[in-house]
Chain A
Amino acid sequence: MSTASVAQVETKWWTGGKSPFNVEYGKLMMWYFLMSDAFTFGAFLISYGTIRFSQNYWPDPNEVFNAFPFAGHANLPLAFVSLMTFILIVSSVTMVLAVHAGHHNDRKGVIKWMIWTIVGGAAFLGCQAWEWTHLITGDHAVLLNGKLEHIGTTVSRNPWGAAMPGMMHDGHPVSTTGPVAFGGYFFGITGFHGFHVFSGVIINIIMLIMTMNGTFDRRGHYLMIEKAGLYWHFVDLVWVFVFLCFYLI
C-alpha cells in the first residue's frame, strides 16, 4: 500500500471510513425488519385473497360492517372504519411531528407530539375492541341445518350467507350461513394488525418516558424517536391495505 492509495480508499464508497447508506445501524435494521413484516402481512392478505377468489359467494363488507357506536341499528356502511382510518392517519401525522421536533432536539415538542400519538393509538385500539365485540356478539338469524338460529360472527361461524328465497315473519330475508373463512381471516389479520398497534403504543410510551427522563438529551440525538416512528408509520401503512382488502373491495 502506497500512501497514494490511502487517499483513494477514503473516497471509495464501500471501503470503510464512512457509512455507505449514511444511516444509523439500528434504523437500517428497522427498515429491513419492516420489509420482512410487510411480507408477513402480505402473505396473510394474499392467502385471504386466494380463498376469497375460490368462493362463489363472499359476504358484502358493507352489509357486515354497517354499525356505529351509540347509533343503534342505523345502517351506516363504511362510517366507523373511516373514523378508524382517520384516527390512524392523524396519529401518523403527530408521529412525524414528534420526529421533526426530535431533529431539532426540541424535548417539549417531542413530549407533546408523542402524547398525541399514544392517544391516537389507544383510540384506534378502543375502536377495534368495539368492532370485534359488536361482530362477535351481534346475533343474526340464519338457517342452520334446517332450523332458524341466531349466531354471531366468530372464527367458526358466519351468519353472513346468501339470502334464501322467501321472508321471515317479520319481513327480513332468510339467509344461510356464509363461508367460515370470513371470520377467521378478519379476526386473524385485523388481530395481527391490532397486536402491532398495541406493541407500537407500548414502544411509544417507552419512548415518551425516555424523553421525559432526558435520556435522548444526554445522548445528544433523538434517533430512537425516528426508529419508533418508522414502526408506527408502518402500522398505518398496513392499515391502508387492511382497510382496502376487508372494507373497500
Chain B
Amino acid sequence: MEHQNPSEVTFHHEPGGKEVVQKIIKTTVILSVITLIELALGFGIYFLHKTPDPSAALILFMKGVIVILSLLKAFYIVGVFMHLGDEIRNLIMTIVVPLLLFIWFIAAFLWDGDSWKMLRNTEGLSKPATEQSKPHLPATQGH
C-alpha cells in the first residue's frame, strides 16, 4: 500500500490494464449469454401456455431456473462490475449478511399472499360478514 497522501489512507489502485479489460469482456459475454438463455426459457413458457394442456410443474421448474439465472447475473454484476469481490472480506460481509433478511422476507410474504388466496377461495372471504367472526377450524389445518 502506498502512502502518498495522509488524508487518503490506503486506496488500492487496480493493477495492469489488459487482464482487467479481458475480465470485463468475459463478464459481458457471460451476462449476455445468461440473458439469452432466460429469453429462450421465457419463449418456452410462452409457447407452453399456447398448448392445450400445459404442465404446471414444468412451467414452475422453468420459472425456477430463470430465477436462479437472474441471481447468477446479480452475482456477476456485483462481484465483477462493482468490484465487491476485490474488497476486504469484512466489508463484503457487512453488505451481504444483512441481505440474508431477504430469505425470510420473500418466503413470509409470498406465503402470506398464498394464504390470502386460500381464504378468498374458501370460507374466509366468500361468506357474509356476520359468519366471518366465527373461528374457522379448517383454515388452521392447512399450511
* Chain A interface residues toward B at CB < 8 A: 18-24, 28, 31-32, 35, 38-39, 42-43, 46-47, 49-56, 60, 62, 77-78, 82, 85-86, 89, 92-93, 95-97, 100, 103-104, 220-221, 223, 229-230, 233-234, 236-237, 240-241, 243-244, 247-249
Contact = CB atoms under 8 A, between A and B. Distances in A.
Given A23-B91, A248-B38, A47 B109 contact: yes
Contacts of A230: 82
Interface string B107-143: 0011011101100110000000000000000000000
Contacts of A31: 84, 91, 95
A52 B42 contact: no
Given A19-B10, A221-B8, A77 B117 contact: no
Given A56-B121, A233-B82, A23 B24 contact: no
B58 interface: no
Interface of B: 1, 5, 8-14, 17, 20-21, 24, 28, 31-32, 35, 38-39, 41-43, 45-46, 49, 63, 66-67, 70, 73-74, 77-78, 81-82, 84, 87-88, 90-91, 94-95, 98-99, 101-102, 105-106, 109-110, 112-114, 116-117, 120-121
Contacts of B17: 100, 104
Contact of A22 (B10, B32, B43, B98): B10
Given A49-B110, A78-B42, A21 B105 contact: no
Contacts of B94: 32
Nearest to B46: A62
Contact of B113 (A22, A51, A247): A51
Interface hub of B14, B74, B95, B113 (most chain A Cβ within 10 A): B113
Contacts, number: 145
A50 B87 contact: no
A54 B117 contact: yes
A19 B77 contact: no
B70 to A, nearest CB: 4
Contacts of B81: 92-93, 95-96, 233, 236
Q: Which 5 A-B pairs have the closest CB atoms?
A: A53-B113, A50-B113, A54-B116, A21-B91, A19-B9
A49 B67 contact: no
Contact of A249 (B8, B43, B63, B114): B63
A42 B9 CA distance: 35
A211 B96 CA distance: 32
Contacts of B35: 82, 85-86, 89
Contacts of A77: 42-43, 46
B14 A240 contact: no
A93 B11 contact: no
Given A49-B113, A50-B113, A56-B120, A22 B11 contact: yes
